[in-house]
Amino acid sequence: MLSTRILIFSTLLRYHWGKILGVILGLVFGWFAITYGLLKAILVAVTIGIGYCVGKKVDDQTDWGKLWDRLFGNR
């Protein structure tokens, strides 16, 4: 039973480590914002969402230069 849990955990870390890290970072920054106030629930939701999106980009091995050019390049 324990070896099955370890296998599931290691599989999650291997394929989704960027998303997990992003969500953790979002939670940490969100908790910091809650400690000091300022639209607590909205800020936590936004930071978790941003953390997840950044983590997903890391998992997908996105080329950050191309993404930057696509978002902020000349139109």
Predicted confidence at residue 14, as pLDDT, reads 83
pLDDT digits (tens, 9 = 90+) for 12-70: 888 888 888 888 877 877 777 778 776 666 777 787 788 888 878 777 777 777 777 77
Predicted confidence at residue 6, as pLDDT, reads 82
Predicted confidence at residue 75, as pLDDT, reads 61
The dihedral through the CA atoms of 40, 42, 45, 46 has a sign that is negative
Assigned token pair, 63: 């080329």
**Orientation of helix 40-59 relative to helix 2-36, angle to 10°:** 140
Predicted confidence at residue 61, as pLDDT, reads 75
| Burial class of residue 51 in the structure, from the number of CB atoms within 10 Å of its CB (0-12 exposed, 13-18 middle, 19+ buried) | buried
